[in-house]
């Protein structure tokens, strides 16, 4: 019987939540790396027992942990993230030049095809790759040397590269997103990059239609349709039907189109999920009701999913890497909150229940569907 | 034998209880102690001082003999009591935040 393993990164450690295919009874393992911020934990699609975790504190910096037994045991691997060459400046919040400084790894994305290859998206924004299972890291520096890079600025959470998507039908194609620079695409495995922000409009920057400067919060893709991308921007939910060449807004009837995560149903490429948040200045659910919104039409028409979620006095947030889906039938949807709850729906969002209620603030949620 | 105390999170990381005892060749300085510490536990590289510059991380401090030595030269000789193993060299996570 299939089972699922939910990988949760929090402000104070990592947790591994497991259940059988019914997804009703859960075992909780953790905390792993107690007291450390775990920005992301993700498993390799090549071998699901191979996991990577990004472990960080302001005191002792960055570590990368690797597990080869599905999270039972962990081994620290390489933690040296050196920018290639002498990095030039980007723009600071006030527009002045500011040197590129490594702070942390936000996102780890294992290769779709090679067990020992894994990508890391870091703050200050850059893309690194390891081909030896995380022991050593090399920057794919063409991204940071993009002609627009001197104009990149940090978002409120820092200048982070938080989204890495590999195209399963085109090994050379990688999408990444940076707050607050925007989205970029490489068609040659990271040797060259182009900004793919046409159609985005951000009222809070001097030129709302600028080539870069957009605070992209998250991008999602269904592997069966890699040219279709969905984006939760700072404000606006967007869609592209041509691999990011042009975006159009699909916020439709959402009560607010600010938010962080966005994800796609495992079996229905036009079914997408977002969690509307009231505003960028408040970061709380609209009307104090925690509601996931689902569109079955690829955007524009949205329905609120509320069964099992708190519908009063709720003031948590759901961060950009804190939503995931499993590939069981029916599709399971999962998200974690800054209040420490991890919610799961075993029926594509119709009904929700907390797996666990009192974890530290959740930074990331990933799901593995195990045979 | 040099005695070194490292913060709890780093003791967990390298799986040691209590003090670390190190043999240090030559003059006993912050640099020679940290070089020996990182040679014993390579996973500590980057956690106490920067990988490239070898400068102390901002929220890490160095103490010995009740003195804050954080701003001393990394190549300055440490007190005899540290060199003789009477007093430990202490790596401390700064108290920050609230």
* B12-31 residue pLDDT tens: 999 999 999 999 989 999 99
The two beta strands, B89-93 and B2-5, are parallel
Q: Which tokens sit at A2? A: 């299939």
Instruction: Please check whether residue A314 is in contact with residue A305, taking contact to mean a CB–CB distance below 8 angstroms.
Output: no
Spans of all domains in chain A: 30-306
Task: Name the residue in chain B with its Cα closest to that of A81.
Answer: B51
Helix (H) or strand (E) holding B11: helix B8-14
Q: Chain B residues with CB inside 8 Å of A82's CB?
A: 51-52
Q: Which CATH number fits domain A30-306: 2.30.30.90, 3.40.190.10, 2.130.10.10, 2.40.340.10?
A: 2.130.10.10
Instruction: Please check whether residue A309 is in contact with residue A336, taking contact to mean a CB–CB distance below 8 angstroms.
Output: no
A288: DSSP letter: G
Helix (H) or strand (E) holding A65: strand A61-67
Task: Name the residue in chain B with its Cα closest to that of A78.
Answer: B43
Q: Which of A93, A83, A123 is nearest to A213 (CA)?
A: A93
Q: Which of A348, A282, A336 is nearest to A40 (CA)?
A: A336
Q: Which of A11, A59, A62 to mutate to test the interface with B (most CBs of B within 10 A)?
A: A59
Structural domains present in chain B: 2-93 (3.10.20.30)
Q: Which tokens sit at A291? A: 């509601």
B10 and A80: CB-CB below 8 Å? no
Looking at residue B96, its pLDDT comes to 66
Looking at residue A368, its pLDDT comes to 98
Q: Chain B residues with CB inside 8 Å of A61's CB?
A: 46-47, 57
User: Does B97 have pLDDT greater than 90?
Assistant: no
Looking at residue A156, its pLDDT comes to 87
Looking at residue B24, its pLDDT comes to 96
Looking at residue B98, its pLDDT comes to 56
Nearest-CB residue to A62 (from B46, B52, B94):
B46
In angstroms, the separation between the Cα of residue A173 and the nearest Cα of chain B is 32
Low-confidence ranges of chain A (pLDDT < 50): none
Residues A260-293 have pLDDT tens digits of 999 999 999 999 999 999 999 999 999 999 999 9
A59 and B94: CB-CB below 8 Å? yes
The model's pTM is 0.96
- Beta-ladder partners of A166: A174
In angstroms, the separation between the Cα of residue A174 and the nearest Cα of chain B is 29
Looking at residue B82, its pLDDT comes to 98
- For residues A193 and B18, what is the distance between their CA atoms, to the nearest angstrom? 50
Q: Chain B residues with CB inside 8 Å of A36's CB?
A: 9
Residues B40-63 have pLDDT tens digits of 999 999 999 999 999 999 999 999
ipTM: 0.94
Residues A185-203 have pLDDT tens digits of 999 999 999 999 999 999 9
Q: Chain A residues with CB inside 8 Å of B53's CB?
A: none
- For residues A251 and A242, what is the distance between their CA atoms, to the nearest angstrom? 18
In angstroms, the separation between the Cα of residue A317 and the nearest Cα of chain B is 22
Residues A91-111 have pLDDT tens digits of 999 999 999 999 999 999 999
- For residues B30 and A169, what is the distance between their CA atoms, to the nearest angstrom? 53
């Amino acid at each position: 019987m299939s089972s699922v393993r939910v990988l949760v990164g929090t402000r104070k450690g990592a947790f591994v939540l497991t259940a059988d295919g019914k997804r009703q009874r859960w075992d909780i393992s953790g905390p792993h790396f107690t007291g450390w911020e775990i920005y992301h934990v993700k498993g390799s699609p090549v071998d699901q027992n191979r996991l990577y975790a990004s472990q960080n504190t302001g005191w002792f910096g960055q570590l990368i942990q690797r597990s080869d037994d599905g999270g039972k045991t962990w081994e620290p691997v390489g933690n040296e993230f050196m920018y290639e060459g002498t990095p030039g400046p980007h723009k600071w919040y006030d527009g002045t030049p500011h040197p590129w400084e490594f702070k942390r790894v936000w996102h780890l994305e294992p290769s779709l095809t090679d067990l020992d290859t894994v990508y890391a998206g870091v703050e200050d924004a850059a893309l690194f790759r390891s081909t030896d299972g995380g022991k050593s890291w090399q920057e794919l520096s063409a991204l940071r040397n993009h002609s627009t890079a001197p104009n990149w600025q940090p978002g409120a959470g820092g200048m982070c590269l938080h989204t890495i998507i590999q195209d399963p039908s085109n090994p050379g194609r990688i999408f990444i997103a940076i707050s607050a620079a925007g989205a970029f695409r490489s068609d040659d495995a990271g040797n060259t990059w182009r900004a793919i922000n046409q159609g985005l409009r951000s009222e809070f920057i001097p030129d709302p239609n600028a080539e870069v400067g957009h605070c992209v919060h998250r991008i999602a893709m269904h592997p069966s349709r890699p040219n279709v991308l969905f984006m939760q921007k700072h404000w606006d939910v967007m869609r592209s039907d041509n691999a990011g060449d042009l975006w159009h807004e699909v916020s439709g009837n959402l009560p607010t189109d600010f938010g962080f995560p966005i994800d796609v149903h495992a079996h229905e490429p036009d079914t997408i999920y977002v969690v509307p948040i009231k505003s960028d200045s408040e970061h709380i659910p609209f009307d104090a009701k925690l509601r996931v919104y689902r569109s079955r039409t690829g955007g524009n028409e949205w329905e609120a999913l509320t069964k099992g979620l708190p519908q009063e006095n709720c003031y948590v947030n759901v961060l950009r890497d804190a939503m995931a889906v499993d590939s069981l039938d029916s599709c399971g949807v999962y998200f974690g909150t800054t209040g420490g709850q991890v919610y799961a729906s075993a029926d594509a969002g119709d009904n929700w229940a907390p797996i666990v209620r009192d974890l530290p603030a959740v930074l990331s949620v990933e799901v593995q569907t195990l045979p | 034998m040099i005695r070194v105390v490292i913060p709890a999170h780093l003791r967990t990381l390298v799986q040691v209880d209590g003090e670390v005892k190190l043999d240090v060749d030559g003059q006993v300085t912050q640099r020679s102690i940290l070089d020996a510490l990182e040679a014993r536990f390579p996973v500590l590289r980057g956690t106490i001082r920067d990988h490239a510059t070898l400068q102390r991380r901002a929220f890490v401090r160095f103490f010995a003999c009740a003195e804050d030595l954080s701003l001393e030269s990394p190549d300055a000789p440490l007190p005899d009591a540290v060199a003789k193993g009477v007093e430990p060299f202490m790596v401390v996570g700064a108290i920050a935040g609230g």
